[in-house]
Amino acid sequence: MLAGFYRSLLEVLPASAAYVAADGQVLACNERFEAACLWCETPSVPSGLEDVLSPESWKRCQRVLATAFSGVPSEVSGAITLRSGARFSNQMSCTSPVSLGGERLAVLVQFEEDNAPLKLFPDAAPEDDRRAAHSDVQFEPAVFLRSFPDDVLLFDGTESHEEKAIMLLEVVGSRQDMAALVDRLAALDGTRPATIHISECEDCAGLVCASERKVSEIRLVPLAGSASRADARRGELAIIRREMECPEEASENRRLAYQDPLTGLENRRAFERSLTREMKRLEADSETGLAVFYVDLDEFKKVNDHGGHDAGDEMLLRVADCLRLTLGEFGTAARIGGDEFACMLPVANEEAALETAQQILASFDRIRLDVADRVFTIGGSIGVAFVASDQSAGTLNAAALLGLADRACLRGKRVGGRSVQVQTVQSLDFRVAASNLTEGTDPLDFSNNDLVLFSMPIRSLRQETTCGIEVLARLRTQGEGGVSSRAWISAAERCGFIAQLDAWTLERVMEAVAQCNEPGFVAMNVSAYSAREPDFRDTLYHRLSDNRSLASRLCFEISERDFLREPGTVEGFFRLASDLGCQTALDDFGGHWPVLSRLIDMPITWLKFEAGLTQQIADSAARATILQGMVNTAHDLNIRCVAKHVTQESEAEALRRLDVDAAQGFLYGTPEPLEGVKQAL
């Protein structure tokens, strides 16, 4: 049994209205709706909207009902027709669901009847008595107006705009400039409903005062005059509601509730709602699947730490733009955390989902953010949860599906980041699936992951001899079931443990050099974090300032990526190492101009080219020409060059022709344990 309030509300609504269940069942309706049913040649009030509307209109309205029952008020515009073919409405709107007692939920559905005026005064009796019995609502005006819970003014059509404005302002109690209200009333054509907001701020001369929270809302509803009266005039019903929220503020509050204020993307709440709606669509669409992406930016903290929060905000804006462009008009992107994003896109298969994720990473690689003398780049790890087109979505849960994508992203983090991990959804019960998912071993749990040091030979291409070795840190348990060294080191950088790792490696490298009588240098990688760490610099100074022979055999490598982020830090460390007599190397050099422009002033011994510059030069004259120019420039600056990842003799021969000084890679040997040192952390 409907509450009296809801029944009363139905009868005073100026449009055809009904309380409707999720399956379209009509639980209650007003007389206008009953009259519409007669045009369907239905002998009584039908049990559902499907009995009233044409198949095409019912299909459109089904989608609006589904959205409304998910908690989002919605509407559909365009012609809505009856089963008889007659035009019924040009707009259907649904409220959020309400409880009608017990667990029974319904939404209030209203059909705007092509701007038809509300009739308070009866016309002459129609010829069809059956339809006359269910014609437009016909109340005595006094009885009708008493049923409204708000203040009501009834205009008979003889009042001027000035007179209407005076009457409205008297009811509202506002002292604002009447001229603005008169102009607004004059702009209305009086043939369709309209809404005017009046500020309750006494000092405001405008119709709406955005700085004030409360306004009065006036809803003007046209009334049809009596058809039996030749001098009938069109009247209006003014429904007045006080202390309403300012429309500008209400719109802004709705935006903030569902939108990330920085990027303009959806927030987590809005994304989960959108994902729920998309999964409902998936139930009815057997042609496309759905891919949900969880994107976690790699090393975003460095952008905030070294570029400031303004740089961090700018980086997030650029990431958001990349997501919008990559996903296109059919995709949805959201920012759900500080540096975490979620996306969804209808796709045909798992391969298409993987390709989209790779396109996102490729777009991130093109981001370059210049802040003062620094250049910041960004990467990301992406987890994809893919729901196939033949997978029933009846029991899918948006939060659990996003959780599956999150866990796939975490697997990518464990292998060092900048990766894509795809999980095809198999189980229909996500609550069970989610409870069985484990986080796995923490990359920073070192209790069972002792480090060992390996060495890779560096080959002189001129003398055809080994001129040095590079020391690499590896996990003793690396392999299947273990955490990769890349992931371990990436995690160590994020938490600041990398300085301890570099200090541990430095001690063992110096120990190995002291015990080895073989010629050549020993190179080790140093992070930017360690390069600016006072304790690491002090250790280096105290150990090498009085031991030039040891220092001359050490080479410290820092990646170009770290240099782009912290050029001052890297330059300062290279000067310290060079002053102590050590060699220096810029690792993974890709030829970026901010680095090239500083080579003249930097004390660099070696440039170690990234693989993209040196591979395939034997088959590409253009690549060879570019590399030749870089080698010549380096030699002019008294800098030697190393090619990495050389695996074939044809590559080595091409590098010799270009006068590259040295090379390393599997062509010259695989990593071997560094001998003569204690290998435990």
Tens-digit pLDDT profile for residues 557-599 = 998 888 887 888 899 999 999 999 999 999 989 877 778 878 8
Tens-digit pLDDT profile for residues 122-142 = 444 444 443 333 334 344 455
488 and 396 part of one domain: no
What pTM does this model have? 0.46
Domain membership of residue 27 as a residue range? 4-114
215 and 353 part of one domain: no
Tally helices (H) and strands (E) across the chain: 25, 26
Between the CA atoms of 81, 83, 84 and 89, what dihedral angle is there, to the nearest 10 degrees? -20
Report the pLDDT value the prediction gives residue 126, as an integer from 0 to 100. 42
Distance CA 515, CA 509 (A): 10
Residue 213 one-letter amino acid? R
Q: Is residue 371 part of a domain?
A: yes
Q: Is residue 123 part of a domain?
A: no
Instruction: Name every residue whose Cβ is closer than 8 Å to that of residue 442 and which is 6 or more positions away in sequence.
Output: none
The answer to whether 437 and 409 are in contact (CB under 8 A) is no
Among 436, 469, 497, where does a domain finish?
A: 436
Q: Is residue 132 part of a domain?
A: no
The structure tokens listed for 664 are 């390393």
Residue 523 one-letter amino acid? A
Q: List beta partners, residue 326.
A: none
Question: Using alpha carbons only, how large is the chain's radius of gyration in Å?
Answer: 37
Report the pLDDT value the prediction gives residue 591, as an integer from 0 to 100. 79
Distance CA 333, CA 101 (A): 38
Q: How many folded domains does the chain comprise?
A: 4
Distance CA 242, CA 283 (A): 44
401 and 524 part of one domain: no
CATH code assigned at 401: 3.30.70.270
Residues making up the chain, counted from first to last: 681
Q: Is residue 414 part of a domain?
A: yes
Report the pLDDT value the prediction gives residue 639, as an integer from 0 to 100. 94
CATH code assigned at 97: 3.30.450.20
SS3 for 63-97 is HHHHHHHCCCCEEEEEEEEECCCCEEEEEEEECCC
Instruction: Name every residue whose Cβ is closer than 8 Å to that of residue 246 and which is 6 or more positions away in sequence.
Output: 197, 199, 208, 209, 210, 212, 213, 214, 215
96 and 173 part of one domain: no
Q: Is residue 358 part of a domain?
A: yes
246 and 334 part of one domain: no
Q: Is 328 exposed, middle or buried (0-12, 13-18, 19+ CB in 10 A)?
A: exposed
Distance CA 524, CA 458 (A): 12
Distance CA 354, CA 357 (A): 5
Q: Is residue 315 part of a domain?
A: yes
268 and 391 part of one domain: yes
Q: Is residue 121 part of a domain?
A: no
CATH code assigned at 178: 3.30.450
249 and 263 part of one domain: no
Report the pLDDT value the prediction gives residue 135, as an integer from 0 to 100. 38
275 and 417 part of one domain: yes
The structure tokens listed for 166 are 């005076």
Q: Is residue 10 part of a domain?
A: yes
389 and 275 part of one domain: yes
Report the pLDDT value the prediction gives residue 578, as an integer from 0 to 100. 93
Among 387, 406, 436, where does a domain finish?
A: 436
607 and 486 part of one domain: yes
Q: In what order do the strands lie in the sheet with 214-223?
A: 151-155, 235-245, 214-223, 194-199
Distance CA 387, CA 290 (A): 5
Provide the phi-psi class of 308: left if phi over 0, else alpha when psi is between -120 and 50, else beta.
left
Among 436, 465, 482, where does a domain finish?
A: 436
402 and 284 part of one domain: yes
Report the pLDDT value the prediction gives residue 429, as an integer from 0 to 100. 40
State how beta strands 466-475 and 521-525 pair: parallel
Q: List beta partners, residue 155.
A: 236
478 and 600 part of one domain: yes
The answer to whether 656 and 622 are in contact (CB under 8 A) is no
- Residues of the chain short of pLDDT 70, as ranges, are 1-9, 11-12, 36, 38-46, 100-103, 113-150, 174-177, 200-215, 223-234, 243-257, 285-286, 389-396, 414-416, 426-450, 475-497, 517, 675-681
